[in-house]
Chains A and B, each alone.
Chain A
Amino acid sequence: MMTNGFRYLCAIALMTLVMGCDKKEPEGKATETKPVEEFVAGSNATEFTAALTADPETMDPAKMSGAVEGEIAMNLFEGLLMPGPTTEGLTDTSKLLNFGVAESYTLSDDARTYTFKLRSDAKWTNGEPVTSEDFAFSWRRVLTNGFPADYASMMWVIDGAEAYNKAEAGTGDWETVGVKTPDAQTLVVTLVNPTPYFPELTAFYTFFPVPKKAVEEKGDEWTKPENIVSNGPYRLASYQPQQEIKFELNEHYWDKASVNLKSIRFRIISDSNARVNAYKTGELHWAGSGLPVAQITALLTHPDFRQEPLLGTYYYRVNVSKADSPTTNVLVRQALSLAIDRDSLVNNTLNGLYKPAESFVPPMPGYTSTTKTAYNIKRAKDLLAEAGYPNGKDFPAVELLYNTDENHKLVAESVQAMWKQNLNIDVKLNNKEWKTYLQDVDTMAYQVARAGWIGDFNDPMTFLDMWTAENGNNDTGWADAEYDALIKSAQQEVDKTKRIAILQQAETILLERGPIIPVYYYASNLLISRFVKGFEPHNRDVHLFKYMSLPSK
């Protein structure tokens, strides 16, 4: 009879209800959320709670390459050196870093050999000491051919590393690589060129040590919460996919005494609006960057809102390899760049949330660009006419590619309108989803494509070396012998002042005849509780928990 079927359905439903009620409530959670008139960050959280935008793809520092993973690795592990609390107000790069596992280092006269002295009290979460062998093992692992290390190429600054990495599996000889461990407390690294930013590289997660024993024993399972061994201020306490990650203080950390936040909770919230909502209901202390642009104008007056410069540039990449495309003509590229009113774009369309790009390399300690972008309609028109398209006549259709995102759409539509207004050319917008967009760029099946680049370290090289002819991130077909020569000589230059001058020259070439049109510099717009101490502006958005403290309520 019908009633039986329905009874059965009701039974199942009731069971699920009962199961749901049975779920354990986390200890200490407020059983009732307070009504919110004016939100006080973290008022409904029991420990310092931050938000992550997605589940980490991996917890292995050797394999990772994303902001979420970096956030985790920077606090779970520790490299030879570590980023300092801030980059603001620094005029040179020497104050950027603090010592981590290394307590000191010396540099040879030719600036190519670093000798690191490791602390004797640096320990893993299982109490074992961190030795130079761990570092050698970890770096060798990254450079192993076929190992899926996304940032392996960052290690190619080490002598012999590139060859070792490219040699067919098993044929490389580790002895030729400039990483030596004369004793457990000493690590000697020899580089190909003097690389003044190498100390900052050691503070990047690809260079972090992984525990040799645990990795050899457990293989790919070593990052599971029950197995993982790390050497940073925190250890991984638990991980619930799609929900939360919990950190606890590492009892064996050498600098344990200066760590104030004893436990950290990350909530995994992928929707940016949901992150703001969680912040407003007091469930988060730190809502991170990546706030929904639409809501930022409503948050500007809140004392928890901060805007900090970010080391990154939003630009348009121009494909110069297609013979029939007008963008192969350098005059056209210059005209396009001169016809963009970056000030209006940033202040009107983007509500002043970013900074107009004055050049390609954003300002950083120790470097300022010498060439600037400009907005000059008359000059743009003249250049376009010189290129053979007076007042946009006969200008072939150009397609502007961007990946699906509100912000990119806004900027693209504004730039399209500006080019139409100022140069009278028609540009078609092409919006593709992320993966298809990546493929189009990778196979150079585009004419102009939106791009963004965040610097990995505070040196102009991270923005400039990608434009050499063989670099895999070039993707434009642009090759300029003079540019490549300048980059190469900068890489070999020992004198710091001379090196900066060479790089400024290279950037000038890039802006004058390169395949890029800079648009704006990124900025971090974030929400962080105003009661948190030790959270200072950092241009790579690296805020280590070991520097922070929260006064007890």
Chain B
Amino acid sequence: MADSNTHGELEKGSSLWADAFQRLRKNRAALISGAILILIALTALLYEVVSQYGTGFMMEEQHTWVVPKPPGARSVPSHFYELSQAGLLSWENTDSNKDGFVEPREIVDAYRSLEFSNLDLDKSGALSYDEYVDAPLSRVSPNKFIPDCARWAMIKRSMAPIEDPTVFACDAGADNLMQPKETGKLVELVSSGEAQEMINRVDKDSDGLISKAEYVGLPMPRTHILGSDKLGRDLLTRTVYGARISLAVGLLATLVSFMIGVTWGATAGFLGGKVDNIMMRLVDILYGLPFMFLVILLMVVFGQKIYLLFLALGAIQWLTMARIVRGQVISLKNQEFVEAAETIGVSNSGIIFKHLIPNALGPIIVYATLTVPAVMLEEAFLSFLGLGVQAPQTSWGALISEGRQLMETSPWLIIWPSVALAATLLSLNFLGDGLRDALDPQLRKD
């Protein structure tokens, strides 16, 4: 063993993997991407923390409103965070008829006045047209037709308030100011059903009402940072939760397809002849089977256990991986280093695993980084058909497929999950490239 302290010219030998890791560390893009991926994975794992201390909403809680709420709109979370007894949510303000009991209708009204005061920036007690337009829940008219007051009265319960002076005038008084009574859906924060739920939680004597003794305050509304979907579910919370399933699908399925596909394709490509023929014909057969039926059957057999479904998706992806690896190996196996290895007496499996596969890793890694999005989107396609992740669980694919319906009127529903997906895949892409470069045998020092 050389003593590197005394004889400085002797280099320490390094293995392929240590060498590769060194090279990877120098690739800045890959490192940043790796960091981003780890960050996303951690956030996904710590979803509960994000949900409780971050957004305040849980991923399955619903707050129905007429249309999805845009980013910046408020809802009242179902779980009591930040109970408040102050200001407009105090006992005195909530028990408006002073009968000693709080009923659902009074809770609804308390929140309405809370939201109204939020919107009434100049504290004038009425909303001007500008304040009306600034309210997060008012929207521009979805088409060029502005309804007259009669039609508006008929449809206002089915639409978000329209940002148009004539529509505003229908509900405003003669002074062009909207009184609290006319605000309708604009200041709606909780429905009577939700109010009932709040009562149920503290109602010890089960009389459907809250008495002063039972009153512990009401939850403060929280803002939807990224908006909400049409069931009022907070988009940020769902996107973070969706990361779990999407990452799991992507990674598990790709891992399965990688392991099976690489082994199969390399073996077939290297051995050639009849073995290759049979192995590839088996791949053809599996390719020909009806995918939809397989999925339907898998759903029936595995039902609610989604992780098994992911493994199955991976099991379908390995077919293409096998073909690609086989193609690489076929062109590699005639090169000199293979001949050399055979001459030394390396076994077939040794040649395949220690020589051919590492040299073919380039396109393999590229394809693996492409399999991840393919699987995630296949999962989206399945939930498009109702066969994938079941409600209330969600994944990015499911979010995208739900959001595309409302793309024109509520674009945030599709933008944010797509951004999350694209960011993840881009990071994966650069990381994969970094890995590919790191493992490129031609860049090896020795």
Query: Which of B48-56, B401-409, B416-424 touches A?
Result: B401-409
Query: Which of A44-52, A59-67, A296-304 touches B?
Result: A296-304
Q: A37-B144, A298-B408, A351-B66 are in contact. Are A417 and B193 (CB under 8 A)?
A: yes
Q: A300-B159, A409-B391, A421-B196 are in contact. Are A294 and B206 (CB under 8 A)?
A: no
Q: A349-B64, A433-B387 are in contact. Are A301 and B200 (CB under 8 A)?
A: no
B144 pairs with A433, CB closer than 8 A: no
B143 pairs with A429, CB closer than 8 A: no
B231 pairs with A413, CB closer than 8 A: yes
Q: List A contacts of B64 (CB < 8 A).
A: 348-349, 414
Residue interface bits B176-200, CB-to-A below 8 A is 1, else 0: 0000000000000001110011001
Closest residue of chain A to B230, judged by CB?
Answer: A294
A302 pairs with B143, CB closer than 8 A: yes
Q: A301-B151, A414-B64 are in contact. Are A38 and B144 (CB under 8 A)?
A: yes
Q: List B contacts of A378 (CB < 8 A).
A: 208
Distance in angstroms from B358 CB to nearest chain A CB is 28
**Is B296 close to A, CB under 8 A?**
yes
Q: List A contacts of B425 (CB < 8 A).
A: none
A413 pairs with B392, CB closer than 8 A: yes
**Is A431 close to B, CB under 8 A?**
yes
Q: A404-B385, A410-B231, A422-B196 are in contact. Are A391 and B206 (CB under 8 A)?
A: yes
The residue that B155 contacts in the complex, of A294, A301, A341, A406, with Cβ under 8 A, is: A301
**Is B300 close to A, CB under 8 A?**
yes
Give Cα A273–Cα B65 distance, bound, in whole angstroms: 22
Q: A294-B406, A404-B386, A413-B391 are in contact. Are A341 and B192 (CB under 8 A)?
A: yes
Distance in angstroms from A540 CB to nearest chain B CB is 24
Closest residue of chain A to B142, judged by CB?
Answer: A298
**Is B145 close to A, CB under 8 A?**
yes
Question: A226-270: which have CB < 8 Å to B?
Answer: none
Distance in angstroms from A366 CB to nearest chain B CB is 27
**Is B157 close to A, CB under 8 A?**
yes
Closest residue of chain A to B155, judged by CB?
Answer: A300
B66 pairs with A348, CB closer than 8 A: yes
Give Cα A39–Cα B213 distance, bound, in whole angstroms: 59
Question: B368-422: which have CB < 8 Å to A?
Answer: 385-387, 390-392, 402, 405-406, 408-409
B208 pairs with A433, CB closer than 8 A: no
A297 pairs with B206, CB closer than 8 A: no
Closest residue of chain B to A417, judged by CB?
Answer: B62
Residue interface bits A332-362, CB-to-B below 8 A is 1, else 0: 0000000001001001110111000000000
Closest residue of chain B to A341, judged by CB?
Answer: B193
A301 pairs with B158, CB closer than 8 A: no
Closest residue of chain A to B406, judged by CB?
Answer: A294
Give Cα A406–Cα B390 distance, bound, in whole angstroms: 12
Give Cα A413–Cα B62 distance, bound, in whole angstroms: 9
Q: A341-B192, A433-B296 are in contact. Are A301 and B409 (CB under 8 A)?
A: no
Residue interface bits B141-155, CB-to-A below 8 A is 1, else 0: 111111100010001
Q: List B contacts of A410 (CB < 8 A).
A: 230-231
**Is B67 close to A, CB under 8 A?**
yes
Distance in angstroms from B92 CB to nearest chain A CB is 27
Listed residue (A405, A409, A436) with the most chain B CB atoms within 10 angstroms of its CB: A409
B200 pairs with A421, CB closer than 8 A: yes
**Is A214 close to B, CB under 8 A?**
no
A292 pairs with B405, CB closer than 8 A: yes
Listed residue (B64, B141, B197, B390) with the most chain A CB atoms within 10 angstroms of its CB: B64
Q: List B contacts of A300 (CB < 8 A).
A: 155, 158-159
Question: A interface, by DSSP: helix, strand, loop or mixed?
Answer: helix
**Is A184 close to B, CB under 8 A?**
no
Closest residue of chain B to A351, judged by CB?
Answer: B158
Q: List B contacts of A297 (CB < 8 A).
A: 66-67, 142, 158-160, 409
Residue interface bits B119-163, CB-to-A below 8 A is 1, else 0: 000000000000000000000011111110001000101111010
**Is A418 close to B, CB under 8 A?**
yes
**Is A383 close to B, CB under 8 A?**
no
Closest residue of chain B to A424, judged by CB?
Answer: B200
**Is A122 close to B, CB under 8 A?**
no
Give Cα A508–Cα B396 distance, bound, in whole angstroms: 47
Q: List A contacts of B392 (CB < 8 A).
A: 413
A-B contact count (CB 8 A): 106
Q: A300-B158, A348-B64 are in contact. Are A431 and B409 (CB under 8 A)?
A: no
The residue that B196 contacts in the complex, of A273, A352, A377, with Cβ under 8 A, is: A377
Give Cα A37–Cα B141 distance, bound, in whole angstroms: 13
Q: List B contacts of A429 (CB < 8 A).
A: 390-391
Q: A301-B151, A344-B192 are in contact. Are A433 and B142 (CB under 8 A)?
A: no
Closest residue of chain B to A292, judged by CB?
Answer: B405
Give Cα A391–Cα B206 distance, bound, in whole angstroms: 9
Closest residue of chain B to A37, judged by CB?
Answer: B144
Q: A298-B408, A431-B386 are in contact. Are A347 and B157 (CB under 8 A)?
A: yes
Distance in angstroms from A407 CB to nearest chain B CB is 11
Give Cα A303–Cα B191 distance, bound, in whole angstroms: 30
Q: List B contacts of A292 (CB < 8 A).
A: 405
Q: List A contacts of B65 (CB < 8 A).
A: 348
B158 pairs with A353, CB closer than 8 A: yes
Closest residue of chain A to B413, judged by CB?
Answer: A294
Q: List A contacts of B191 (CB < 8 A).
A: 344, 348
Closest residue of chain A to B384, judged by CB?
Answer: A404
Closest residue of chain A to B304, judged by CB?
Answer: A430
A421 pairs with B142, CB closer than 8 A: no
Give Cα A409–Cα B394 distance, bound, in whole angstroms: 14
Q: List B contacts of A424 (CB < 8 A).
A: 200
Question: A394-445: which have CB < 8 Å to B?
Answer: 404-406, 409-410, 413-414, 417-418, 421-422, 424, 429, 431, 433, 436
A298 pairs with B231, CB closer than 8 A: no
B386 pairs with A433, CB closer than 8 A: yes
Distance in angstroms from B88 CB to nearest chain A CB is 23
Closest residue of chain A to B188, judged by CB?
Answer: A348
Residue interface bits A291-320, CB-to-B below 8 A is 1, else 0: 010111111111100000000000000000
Give Cα A38–Cα B145 distance, bound, in whole angstroms: 8
Distance in angstroms from A61 CB to nearest chain B CB is 32
Q: List B contacts of A431 (CB < 8 A).
A: 386, 390-391
Q: List B contacts of A38 (CB < 8 A).
A: 143-145
Distance in angstroms from B126 CB to nearest chain A CB is 26
Residue interface bits A370-389, CB-to-B below 8 A is 1, else 0: 00000001100100000000
A377 pairs with B208, CB closer than 8 A: yes
Q: List B contacts of A404 (CB < 8 A).
A: 385-387
Q: List B contacts of A273 (CB < 8 A).
A: 405
Distance in angstroms from A351 CB to nearest chain B CB is 4
Closest residue of chain A to B408, judged by CB?
Answer: A298
Q: List A contacts of B300 (CB < 8 A).
A: 436
Listed residue (A38, A300, A347, A422) with the most chain B CB atoms within 10 angstroms of its CB: A300
A-B contact pairs, 17 of them (CB 8 A): A292-B405, A294-B409, A296-B158, A301-B155, A301-B162, A302-B145, A341-B193, A344-B193, A349-B231, A352-B157, A391-B206, A404-B385, A410-B230, A417-B62, A421-B197, A431-B390, A436-B300
Q: Given A381-B206, A429-B391, output 12 extra A-B contacts at Cβ < 8 Å.
A: A38-B143, A295-B409, A296-B158, A301-B151, A344-B191, A349-B64, A349-B231, A351-B158, A421-B197, A422-B196, A431-B386, A433-B296
Q: What 6 pairs between A and B have smallest CB-CB spacing?
A: A404-B386, A298-B142, A352-B158, A294-B405, A38-B144, A351-B158
